[in-house]
Structure formats: structure tokens, C-alpha cells
Chain A
């Protein structure tokens, strides 16, 4: 190797090492994001562990928005967060928030943080923990969740009214009770308006896989003639696909995605974590929730609790682009008489937001796709049954595994 060649190699080597160190420093620096540091003691210090980046249009963004609203609202409250925490590696970050920052309360915002949260609850008995979406509790660890099944029913009403082909589609992540509940609610709503409607489900087996979600939407439109799409997975791919495709409409999920599809997003499901967080933090501040009494605290936020909201944007519950088309479709309701779908959706929101919850989508008679009566006439499904539901109401593609209760494998 020649002398000049050697020098050039040393130069490249140094440049590479510099690049690696630079990237490492940049990465380390961005790992712990802090806000409002160095506050006065005596404030309630609340730390959040996020699974994703705060800038996504989705799950973590919704939690971080709630955090900022509450931080702004209460003088006695101080918040901090760690973003992009891999599930299973939350332990050290919880340690940091408690030991270095002095957190009194920790919210862990992903299902995969469940066991780690319980373990840390044992390790720090003086700290209060709340885990989002899990089912394990301890005396200082409570659980909280916000569910969309009522909103999916309302989405179904609109889908049933708007479909021209009588085929509607659903891009779904995993065959879990949460998604089965959503899909069934969507189907119930659509069938209420339009008995000829068929719901086609495509499973992508991933929470986050934008290319597969897009391919799933494409396949539903191409193979099944679907023209209205709903989804439960963590990307905006379905909304983006609908916006680029003529005569295909979609419901946004979790975050205000209407901005990505202004002419194709009919409505959607929105969460207001600030409502749930506020109620919890206030109760902690007032001494109602302590590190001793959370064993049975399991909070479920629905329309009545104002924890969830219908809409693809926080400004309108239904995209006004669709007003004429929804008003053109009318149905006969036993209580409300002949009513158009736009008004029906608004009426159902009122009923479900009422303290007495005057309407429940899962009210019998409901048959599964085997024809087995699952819910007797007039009976309402219990929260426990809803949270563990494993059977489908006649949807296409509802069963991917043979051993599912209530599934016909054809």
C-alpha cells in the first residue's frame, strides 16, 4: 500500500470515527427530553414513559398533548417525559425519573410496559403508578384505558349510509378483543343503516407497518370493491391512501388525521387523555388516590366520561363535506322515528354521553356468525364481556384461526 493511499485511509478512518461519535452524542442527547426542569419542591411531579416519538400523528402524540395541556393548566403540577422507550426497557427510565428528577407519579403508556410497571411499583412503594391499557394492578399501581367501540358504531352508521358498493373494509392489526370489539361495533352500525352491507377485514399482524397497511387498503378496494375504510393500527396509511384514491373514503383513527385527507375523511375516533389524566392527577392531589388504595382502580374512559370524541378533527364531529350525502339517507328508529343519518349520529352521541347511557351498541338480540345467540333480546353486554370478546358478528375475514370461539372457517 502506498504512502499517499495510507494517509487517505487514515483520513477516511478519522472521519468515520468522528461521524460515529457525533451520531452517538446526538442520539444520547435526544434520549432524555426534559421540560420545566428545576421547579420548586412541593409541586406534584408527574413523569410519563412513552413508547413512540412525540411527533408522530398517533398514540404518543395524543398522550403528550394531554401532558402539555395539564402542565399548562395547573401551577402545582410539574411534568416530564421520556420518549421512544422500547417495551421491556422502561425500568432504567423509570429509575431516572424517580431518583434523578423526583417523580411522585409515573404514567406508563404502552401495553408492553405492564410487567415493568408492576415490578417498579414493588421497588418504589411510595410512588404512584398508572399503567395504560393493562390489566395488572397493585396497591400503588392502577390501570386506565380509553375505548372507542361506541365511536366505531357511529362510524359504522356513516359507512353504511355512504357506501355505494355495499362493501366496507377494515384494516386491522391483531386479532385481539379490542379489535374484535371495534370491528363488531362497526359492523353493527353499518347493518343498522344498510342490511346489505358486508364488512371485509384484513389483518396485517403489526401495529406499525405503513406499507402493509397501504397494501391492505389497496387489496380491499381492488379485490372486494370496498369504498369505505376503517382501521385499527398505528399509521395514517389508510387515510393517505383514501385521499389519493377517487371515491374511496376513510375514518381516521386515534389522532386528528382529517388534515391528511380533507376530502376523504368522513369522521373518526379521537381520544382526550387529558380528561382521564386530569381526573387521576386531581384525585392524587386531593389524597383520594394514594400509594395504598389502587388495587381495584381500573378506569375505562368512554363517551360518558368525555374521554373519547367522534371526529377526524377536534373541530367537527363529522366532516361537513359529507353532510348532504348523510342527510339524504334516512332510517326508521323505534324511538326517534324517521331520521336521517347525520341527525341519527348526533342523537346517538347525546344518548351515549348521557349519565344514564341511554343507548348501547351491543344490545341484544345479537348473533355471532355461527348463528349462536350471544346476547338475549334487550340485554346489554357487560363491560367485562366487551373487554374479553372473542367472537365475530358476520364479517368477511373475521376468522384467521380455526380455534376462535364463534368462528366459521370456510
Chain B
């Protein structure tokens, strides 16, 4: 039996959630909710694939799993995510407009943009380079885990580094302190001489870049193809994940992998899975609901406990989330 194949599928699926979740944590920690994640992922997936396809003439030797066209494609995906995030931060931070309206508009816009730019490259997977897996020497020899964790593509490895890095930046650096302060108490941050809007812009743009990268990962690394509807609206799960992860990068890692397990195993549960001697059968529609159900559960539990300041600090929801800041 080849259990490592399923475990590998979980790692691959979870990475798709993990990267944009880290980005959204930064945006929300600074006080800006970005519901445009799905749009940025779709546009990033289409744009990166289109870029790599258009540059196909330059395809050459591979470096760390990808040739020059793939690397430029990945950068293009991040750039597109960033540009779309700029729309959101312009409307919601500079103009102080409603973040929810702007975010939803961004998702619809990004999905349309992806369809538009991606139209010409549907079915062009043969001519387009893909990001290959590269195994890490020595680590790949570890039984089971070597094949599962260290025989992946470079974006998966990046996600391993991203989590502790994000934690370190958010909780152990001055920049992280500024981001959190801006999300908790922008007025005092402003009085301390922190440029609140600049910090919020930067955080939202960082979130956009990671969402774009997640889209590029989907089209250039995981599937090696683009077609409309490629995400099946799974970008929304990221919004849910940020809440479930209590705005903490380490929890985001755990949450993403739990959701990844559900994603892969929902297909198994439809036929019944043996858990400790019991056969558990669950409808795959029910499994699709779980991320959202658990989010609702967390919101309810969170709001019941929110009165206790200690618990609130534990939960980590930024106080000023979605609240505009007027600096004059």
C-alpha cells in the first residue's frame, strides 16, 4: 500500500491554502479585511500561466525545478496579485471606503479578469513549462516523511519557511509590532508617529502577492494548466482559515493541513473510511461544508468568549478590523 501518495496529496493541497492564508493574516492584522482573495488567486493563476505560455520560446535549462519562463510566470502571478491588492488598498485604505464591498468587487473583477486573459491559453498545457518537484538530499531519505515532505516543488518548500518567518516578523520584530498596533489601535499608532496608511497598504499588498503566488502554484506547479473555474471557489476557504487560525501563522499551518486532509479525504469518506475499527461514511457535500461550519463555530465560540480580555488576546482578532482610519 502506498500511503505516502495520499499524504503527498494532502501536502500539495494544503500548500494552496497555506500561502494566501499567511498573506491575509498580515492584511487583517493591520486592520484590513480583503475578501478579494479568490479573485487574486484566479487572476494570478491565469496571468502566470499566460506569461509562461507567451514566453515559451525562451524555455531552456531548468533551475530549481523551473526554467526561466516558469520563474517569470511565478513573478507575474505575484505581481498580478499585488496590483489587484493595490485596487483594494486604494479604495479601502486611501479612500476609506467599505472594505467588504471593495473586497467582493475585487473577487468578481479578478475572476472575470482571469477568464479574459486566460481565454487564449485554455488547453495549452503541452506547450507550457511546469514547475517540477526537486528532492532535498539527505532529508528525502527519511522513511515516509522524506517522500511526502521533501520531494516536492520549491513553492511547497517556500511555504515551510514562510510560516516561521511570518511568525517571527509579526511577533518578534518592530515591523510586526507596528502592523499589530495599526490593527489594534491606529490612533495611538498614529500618535507614536507610525504612518498607519502606509503600514496597511504594505500589509494588503503583501497579502496580494502571496494570493497571486498561490494562484501561480495552482496553474504552474500543481496542475500545469489553466481553465476557468480552476479554483472551484476555494479561495473563500482562505478567509475562513484566517479566522480558524485565530490570526496566527502557526495555527494557519495546522488549519491549512486540516482543511487539506478534508479536501483529499472527502472523496474517501464518501465510500467509507476505517477509523479505529469503525467505518465512517460521510457525504462529500457535507465534507465540503466543514471548513465553513468550523468557521461559524469558531466565530460563535469567539464571540461568547470575547468579553474576557485575556481570551481575546489569545484569540488575536484585530480590534480595528474593517474600521477605516482617518488621519486628519
| Chain A contact residues, CB within 8 Å of chain B | 1, 9, 12-13, 16, 20, 23, 26-27, 30, 53, 55-58, 61, 84, 200-206, 208-212, 214-216, 218-219, 221-223, 225, 235-237, 240, 259-260, 396-397, 400, 410
Q: Is B161 an interface residue (CB 8 A)?
A: no
Tell me whether B264 and A56 are in contact (CB under 8 A): no
Of A26, A53, A216, A223, the residue contacting B122 (CB under 8 A) is A53
Given the contacts A13-B90, A202-B271, A219-B267, A57 and B2 also touching, CB distance less than 8 Å? no
Q: Is B302 an interface residue (CB 8 A)?
A: no
Q: Is B324 an interface residue (CB 8 A)?
A: no
Name the B residues within 8 Å of A203 (CB-CB). 267, 270, 284
Tell me whether A206 and B227 are in contact (CB under 8 A): no
Count how many pairs of residues, one from A and one from B, have CB atoms less than 8 Å apart in the complex: 130
Tell me whether B232 and A218 are in contact (CB under 8 A): no
Q: Is the interface of B mostly helix, strand, loop or mixed?
A: helix
Q: How many residues of B contact A (CB 8 A)?
A: 54
Name the A residues within 8 Å of B95 (CB-CB). 9
Of A55, A212, A221, the residue contacting B232 (CB under 8 A) is A212
Tell me whether A61 and B9 are in contact (CB under 8 A): no
Tell me whether B223 and A214 are in contact (CB under 8 A): yes
* Smallest beta-carbon distance A173→chain B, Å: 12
Name the A residues within 8 Å of B120 (CB-CB). 55
| Chain B contact residues, CB within 8 Å of chain A | 1-6, 8-9, 13, 16, 86-87, 90, 94-95, 109, 112-113, 115-116, 119-126, 218, 222-225, 227-232, 234, 263-265, 267-268, 270-272, 279, 283-285, 288, 328
Given the contacts A23-B112, A55-B120, A61-B123, A211 and B267 also touching, CB distance less than 8 Å? no
Tell me whether B223 and A240 are in contact (CB under 8 A): yes
Tell me whether A12 and B122 are in contact (CB under 8 A): no
5 contacts between A and B (CB under 8 A): A203-B267, A205-B284, A210-B227, A214-B223, A397-B270
Tell me whether B125 and A212 are in contact (CB under 8 A): no
Name the A residues within 8 Å of B231 (CB-CB). 211
Q: In the bound complex, what is the Cα–Cα distance between A209 and B284 (angstroms)?
A: 14
* A225 nearest CB neighbor, chain B only: B1
Tell me whether B90 and A12 are in contact (CB under 8 A): yes
* Smallest beta-carbon distance A264→chain B, Å: 14
Given the contacts A16-B87, A208-B229, A260-B126, A23 and B116 also touching, CB distance less than 8 Å? yes
Tell me whether A211 and B122 are in contact (CB under 8 A): no
Q: In the bound complex, what is the Cα–Cα distance between A245 and B2 (angstroms)?
A: 13
Tell me whether B328 and A1 are in contact (CB under 8 A): yes
Q: In the bound complex, what is the Cα–Cα distance between A55 and B218 (angstroms)?
A: 20
Q: In the bound complex, what is the Cα–Cα distance between A215 and B261 (angstroms)?
A: 11
Given the contacts A202-B270, A211-B222, A218-B264, A27 and B6 also touching, CB distance less than 8 Å? no
